Copies of this chain bind each other. A is one copy, B any other.
Amino acid sequence: MALDTRVKIGEWQLENPIMTASGTFGYGEEFTPFVDLAALGAIVVKGISLHPRPGNPPPRVVETASGMLNAIGLQNVGVDRFISEKMVMIRKLGAQVVVNILGDSLDEYRELAARLADVEGIAALEVNISCPNVKKGGVAFGTDPLMAAKVTEVVSRQSSRPVIIKLSPNVSDITLIARAVEEAGATAVSLINTLIGMAIDIRTARPKLANIIGGLSGPAIKPVALRMVYQVASAVKIPVIGIGGISTLDDVIEFMMAGATAVQIGTANFVNPAVSGELVAGFRQYLRDTGRTTATELIGCVQR
């Protein structure tokens, strides 16, 4: 019997629900020795801003218990060089590409969406309103339903493609933000971005990150991410993309059962650069082994 591993995000159909998470997969090419990018549901590239950003001073990463903190500071080449250089290379990869964007003003989000509007080879936009590493912008948008809705509107108006709003977990009630962006026209929401954390080197009495605080990711945050996906999936009708500590096939299934239509693999790519491809294969096998014929059967099937 034929297996249907496809899932839909708005009009956009993915071959399977396995995506890679922004900032953890470079621009894709680094992983070509380990993964057939065309076999993935999609890849999400490192966040792009209107102007180039040098990012934060080092140290930028530190390991924690079953996780890591990062304060990359959204280093990127800026949208113009992204279009003229990176996209040329990315188109050759044959992957479904989601471009992750971030701004520190509504105008910047609008402008970004406008410049990317007719660049070919882009399947969808993911809007980062939640990155905790940059003091201005970022967090503010992600923690205020009104601002989150405004960003969603301006980006959606500029873009004919699916617009995925990426939510911050550092809020009292994530379902409020999710509902606000749904009403504002988001095609889907993706969650979670990193939790804000910190680590101190007691020998120097200095924060381990030059930026003092950073984003916590990895298996440590999975229970929080899964809970939020479950809550948001129960609160909105648009598709939910689950992110947060996903490393194994069991993790993928847990998130889909909780209500995720697709998932993104982040920090796990650092531990095993082949993991995303392995999960695509494992997912097919899982459906067979459990006598399922479609990926969609799994979505939200957890008993309440």
Contact = CB atoms under 8 A, between A and B. Distances in A.
Given A196-B227, A212-B304, A216-B224, A202 B253 contact: yes
Contact of A198 (B67, B202, B221, B227): B227
B66 A206 contact: no
A88 interface: no
B250 A224 contact: no
Given A212-B304, A227-B198, A253-B202, A64 B222 contact: yes
A200 B242 CA distance: 14
A213 B200 contact: no
Q: Assembly of this chain: how many copies?
A: 2
A216 B225 CA distance: 11
A60 to B, nearest CB: 15
B65 A227 contact: no
A220 B205 CA distance: 22
Given A65-B219, A67-B220, A303 B199 contact: no
A185 to B, nearest CB: 24
A170 interface: yes
B65 A202 contact: no
B196 A66 contact: no
A230 interface: yes
Interface string A171-199: 11100000000000000000000011111
What is the size category of the interface that chain A forms with chain B? 35 or more
Nearest to A249: B202
A170 to B, nearest CB: 6
Contacts of A67: 65-66, 220, 223
A27 to B, nearest CB: 28
A226 interface: yes
A207 interface: yes
Contacts of A43: none
A143 B172 CA distance: 7
A130 to B, nearest CB: 12
A66 B245 CA distance: 12
A155 interface: no
Contact of A205 (B196, B245, B303): B303
Interface in A42-100: 64-67, 69
Given A197-B224, A199-B226, A207-B303, 17 more contacts: A64-B222, A64-B223, A65-B66, A65-B67, A65-B245, A66-B66, A197-B223, A197-B227, A198-B226, A198-B230, A200-B226, A202-B253, A202-B257, A205-B302, A206-B303, A207-B302, A220-B220
Q: Which 6 A-B pairs have the closest CB atoms?
A: A197-B223, A65-B219, A66-B66, A220-B220, A198-B227, A65-B66
20 contacts: A65-B66, A65-B67, A65-B220, A66-B66, A66-B67, A67-B220, A69-B223, A143-B172, A143-B173, A197-B223, A197-B227, A198-B227, A198-B230, A200-B226, A204-B303, A205-B257, A205-B301, A205-B303, A207-B303, A216-B224
